Chains A and B, each alone.
Chain A
């Protein structure tokens, strides 16, 4: 008659498909909001959910209904002073006012924008949508050094440490049933006969037969007891196979010019760019090391704090940083075990004859080792020699080296998207 059912254990995300449909439909709005958020948010909280606002008019589901105008009629409760025939002036500019078409109270809410929250995960999904790390495949296929063991079923051979007890005992049990089956059936028959004989009067019993039967029982019981409890061919072992494990660790080099010409604002732009790259890498790799290298006339590996905030002056020799980077790679991050990404930010200043050296270092030793090297030049001015040297590197190694020009904060995200845009041949794998 009445049933009470506990449904709490049922899934609670029944609406998630519909929610996804909604997000898909308003993708453009969300993307725009995400883009603005990436540019506006303070650097520290780039990594959280986002409030998305969509204008009500874009989201409204239209239906036929009555508009404002014509003759309306309505009954309200709570009369205090009105009597029949009273004429009440309409509020100015309010159109139908309180006595409109019955929905006067709702009109105030009608203009609100539709606001909802997307999670951190979804936010980053939108931030990095359609982006891909270039050359991801290289490390997965080449020079695999690491292996992991993986379950590969059950085998009848193996070392005792891999004995699968449940499976072995199950086999033994089955074997015992089969092997002793005949004996047990016979035993049952013999015992039945003994019982029949016992039921007879003592004088009528065939004593010889009785003795014979008892002997048989003893024999059969012995036979059953002789069936081994566990035999070698019952044993089963877990089987493992070695599987090559793609390297899932990456190192990210942040290289920045901290000479006197770099202002705090330029550094902030660089920092945003570095953080975007870091978040993006984190979505692809389990473990990420970040190495900060700053340089003016000489380069130094520093902590994050020092990297972004300490002030330096002096000239600029970019090659010093590249040399240091190459050294660090050689010392700590062998390129067959690590995926190496590098991002360099600078305002383009360099000692004139140093730019050629930079190109040489890049082409000779670095480009071969890295997954991807990005260079961003943050300057409102004309490009200088460094840019042109790097352009040559880009032309020679378009797959591993990219460079872009940024003038203000608003450029960061578009440039980032541009640098990591999924390439046509990338998805199919080389």
Chain B
């Protein structure tokens, strides 16, 4: 062995698969240094080493370090445990929490390479995305989430002590059923603050009840004019998309603590809302950076060949996209698409082709770091794909778009990866990531305030797609919270298509 080689060897951060706390720290520092050179802006990191059992716990509580007790988390836990024990599934290598400091879990069973990979992926990739992306900035407050979880857990526990586990569970069940409809999609929400939650919670109870009482006042008014106005009053004055918010504020029979529970579930929904809309971007960004950071480690001579080969092997399996006809196919892999897109943007900045110049005149030959940073900050999956998916990638993924009408015995291939198809194909793929396409549009339309207090939900059908089989069950939950009859109307292009009614409690 030449002297140069043995000299270089001394610079390796580690040899062999074993990890230790010193090594984790060393790697973290080196990776952090490189990340800084690339200008990644992150929250401080809190890296926690946990065992696989603890990972299962974390899994079952949607990744949160603590949460209120509910049977559905127990179900999740049993499911994970069963699958893991039977070897049907490996545990995720990492869980990372959008909080400040950003908490990332490393599993003790992993080897040093995996730990370094997770550090790059979670502590620098995801972390910088949480800090930079506009959806996360708008909808979540990373500094407050842990405190809020503590508050929520305590509050739920107090309710259980005061009103019984059963009662609390029933209310939470109903809230969970409506959780995805507990977010203001178009309105910027007030950032969540734990301190404020605590101090104002009692006051809120009182005020809330007051508002509700105003709405449902049945004492006759002497003023005839006002009485007439009251009679004419349409409520709500505009359709309400945030069903949980509407229930929290206006359901006539709920007790104050139940309103607070709705609020807690609503806040959790709000916290997860950005994650549901940035899967491709978020995972892609983290994958792009673990790939870049790990390769830089290698280029700097800090890790050996075995290390980087092992890394490439696991990286490749993470970003693998099976074709639609493969038995392993389960939709588009967000890691694969996201990673490919960021890498492609970088390529277009550095080595654009003629086609790229035509399609992306504003990013070719720019500084790739700046372009990537801009792309990470200002988009969600839907707009990101619409903006940046290049014809080259559509060809590489061999995307094709199809339409399916239930009345037609055939499905039709609408476009493929060719010149005529690119634009439309990209739109179609982008739409697939649009939450309002994925989830039905259901809003509170009208409340019969003067008579039987019944409530009408309106579902505006998209492409004549009906609601699923759960609808009746979810309606029961809605009714439980509302307290009076609930009707759901599905409206198609031609008018009312279907009505679901949930009347007396059974």
Write the residues of chain A forming the contact surface with B, with a CB cutoff of 8 angstroms. 1-8, 10, 12-15, 17-25, 59-80, 82-90, 95-103, 105-106, 114-117
CA distance A62 to B180 in the complex (A): 11
Q: Are A86 and B467 in contact (CB under 8 A)?
A: no
Q: A72-B404, A73-B428, A74-B402 are in contact. List 9 more A-B contacts (CB 8 A).
A: A2-B46, A63-B180, A75-B429, A77-B397, A78-B322, A82-B400, A87-B412, A88-B412, A116-B81
Partner of A78, one of B173, B398, B467: B398
Partner of B404, one of A19, A61, A73, A84: A73
Asked whether any CB of chain A lies closer than 8 Å to the CB of B56, the reply is yes
Q: Are B413 and A82 in contact (CB under 8 A)?
A: yes
CA distance A114 to B415 in the complex (A): 40
CA distance A117 to B84 in the complex (A): 12
Q: Are B411 and A97 in contact (CB under 8 A)?
A: yes
For A17, the chain B residues whose CB sits under 8 A away are 69, 74
The answer to whether A18 and B21 touch (CB under 8 A), given A2-B44, A64-B440, A64-B474, is no
CB interface residues, B 208-256, toward A, < 8 Å: none
Closest residue of chain A to B457 (Cβ to Cβ) is A64
Q: Are A64 and B468 in contact (CB under 8 A)?
A: yes
The answer to whether A62 and B177 touch (CB under 8 A), given A21-B169, A67-B467, A96-B406, is yes
Q: Are B429 and A61 in contact (CB under 8 A)?
A: no
For B165, the chain A residues whose CB sits under 8 A away are 21
CB distance from A347 to the nearest CB of B (A): 44
Contact with A along B77-99 (1 / 0, CB 8 A): 11101100100000000000000
For B442, the chain A residues whose CB sits under 8 A away are 64
CA distance A72 to B431 in the complex (A): 11
Asked whether any CB of chain A lies closer than 8 Å to the CB of B418, the reply is yes
Of the stretches B284-292, B328-336, B371-379, the one at the interface is B328-336
Of the stretches B24-32, B310-318, B444-452, the one at the interface is B24-32
Q: How many residues of B contact A (CB 8 A)?
A: 102
CB distance from B420 to the nearest CB of A (A): 7
Interface centre among A21, A24, A95 (most CB of B within 10 A): A21
For B417, the chain A residues whose CB sits under 8 A away are 79
- Across the A-B interface, the 8 shortest Cβ-Cβ residue pairs: A78-B323, A22-B74, A70-B465, A62-B470, A18-B74, A71-B463, A70-B464, A76-B324
CB distance from B213 to the nearest CB of A (A): 30
CA distance A22 to B69 in the complex (A): 10
The answer to whether A84 and B416 touch (CB under 8 A), given A2-B44, A3-B101, A114-B79, is yes
For B47, the chain A residues whose CB sits under 8 A away are 2-5
Closest residue of chain A to B81 (Cβ to Cβ) is A116
Q: Are A75 and B51 in contact (CB under 8 A)?
A: no
CB distance from B419 to the nearest CB of A (A): 11
Closest residue of chain A to B66 (Cβ to Cβ) is A14
CB interface residues, B 4-48, toward A, < 8 Å: 21, 24-25, 28-29, 32, 44-48
CA distance A79 to B329 in the complex (A): 13
CB distance from A353 to the nearest CB of B (A): 59
Asked whether any CB of chain A lies closer than 8 Å to the CB of B176, the reply is yes
CB distance from A418 to the nearest CB of B (A): 28
CA distance A83 to B78 in the complex (A): 45
Tell me the dominant secondary structure on chain B's binding face.
mixed
Partner of A5, one of B48, B61, B325, B468: B48
CB distance from B158 to the nearest CB of A (A): 15
CA distance A5 to B25 in the complex (A): 11
Asked whether any CB of chain A lies closer than 8 Å to the CB of B326, the reply is yes
For A115, the chain B residues whose CB sits under 8 A away are 82
For A68, the chain B residues whose CB sits under 8 A away are 406, 466, 468
Asked whether any CB of chain A lies closer than 8 Å to the CB of B399, the reply is yes
Closest residue of chain A to B32 (Cβ to Cβ) is A2
For B403, the chain A residues whose CB sits under 8 A away are 71-73, 99
CB interface residues, B 135-188, toward A, < 8 Å: 165, 169, 173, 176-181
Q: Are B176 and A61 in contact (CB under 8 A)?
A: yes
The answer to whether A70 and B406 touch (CB under 8 A), given A21-B71, A84-B418, A88-B413, is yes
Asked whether any CB of chain A lies closer than 8 Å to the CB of B111, the reply is no
Asked whether any CB of chain A lies closer than 8 Å to the CB of B405, the reply is yes
CA distance A102 to B400 in the complex (A): 14
Q: Are B78 and A116 in contact (CB under 8 A)?
A: yes
The answer to whether A71 and B78 touch (CB under 8 A), given A18-B71, A78-B326, A96-B406, is no
CA distance A294 to B462 in the complex (A): 77
CB distance from A348 to the nearest CB of B (A): 46
CA distance A166 to B55 in the complex (A): 44
CB distance from B416 to the nearest CB of A (A): 6
Asked whether any CB of chain A lies closer than 8 Å to the CB of B364, the reply is no
For B400, the chain A residues whose CB sits under 8 A away are 75-76, 79, 82
CA distance A75 to B398 in the complex (A): 10
CA distance A154 to B228 in the complex (A): 84
Partner of B413, one of A25, A71, A85, A114: A85
Partner of A23, one of B74, B429, B469: B74
Asked whether any CB of chain A lies closer than 8 Å to the CB of B479, the reply is no
For B486, the chain A residues whose CB sits under 8 A away are none
Q: Are B75 and A80 in contact (CB under 8 A)?
A: no
Q: Are B411 and A87 in contact (CB under 8 A)?
A: yes
Asked whether any CB of chain A lies closer than 8 Å to the CB of B321, the reply is yes
* 27 residue pairs from A and B, CB less than 8 Å apart: A2-B32, A3-B101, A4-B21, A7-B48, A10-B50, A12-B53, A19-B74, A21-B165, A62-B473, A63-B180, A64-B180, A67-B466, A69-B406, A70-B466, A73-B402, A73-B428, A75-B399, A75-B429, A76-B399, A76-B402, A79-B400, A84-B414, A90-B404, A90-B410, A90-B411, A102-B432, A117-B81
Closest residue of chain B to A65 (Cβ to Cβ) is B468
The answer to whether A20 and B412 touch (CB under 8 A), given A61-B177, A76-B400, is no
For B331, the chain A residues whose CB sits under 8 A away are 102-103, 105
For B323, the chain A residues whose CB sits under 8 A away are 76-78, 80
CB distance from B34 to the nearest CB of A (A): 14
Q: Are A84 and B413 in contact (CB under 8 A)?
A: yes
Q: Are A15 and B61 in contact (CB under 8 A)?
A: yes
Q: Are A15 and B74 in contact (CB under 8 A)?
A: yes
For B56, the chain A residues whose CB sits under 8 A away are 15
Asked whether any CB of chain A lies closer than 8 Å to the CB of B70, the reply is yes
CA distance A80 to B50 in the complex (A): 44
CA distance A128 to B182 in the complex (A): 44
CA distance A20 to B77 in the complex (A): 11
For B429, the chain A residues whose CB sits under 8 A away are 75
Q: Are B79 and A15 in contact (CB under 8 A)?
A: no
CB interface residues, B 463-506, toward A, < 8 Å: 463-471, 473-474, 477
Closest residue of chain A to B47 (Cβ to Cβ) is A4
Partner of B410, one of A5, A61, A75, A89: A89
Q: Are A66 and B465 in contact (CB under 8 A)?
A: yes
For A10, the chain B residues whose CB sits under 8 A away are 50, 54
Q: Are B57 and A99 in contact (CB under 8 A)?
A: no
For B352, the chain A residues whose CB sits under 8 A away are none
For B71, the chain A residues whose CB sits under 8 A away are 18, 21-22, 24-25
Q: Are B24 and A4 in contact (CB under 8 A)?
A: yes
Q: Are B432 and A75 in contact (CB under 8 A)?
A: yes
Q: Are B465 and A13 in contact (CB under 8 A)?
A: no
CA distance A147 to B96 in the complex (A): 57
The answer to whether A74 and B432 touch (CB under 8 A), given A67-B467, A68-B406, is yes
CA distance A24 to B425 in the complex (A): 49
Q: Are A7 and B25 in contact (CB under 8 A)?
A: no
CA distance A401 to B466 in the complex (A): 64
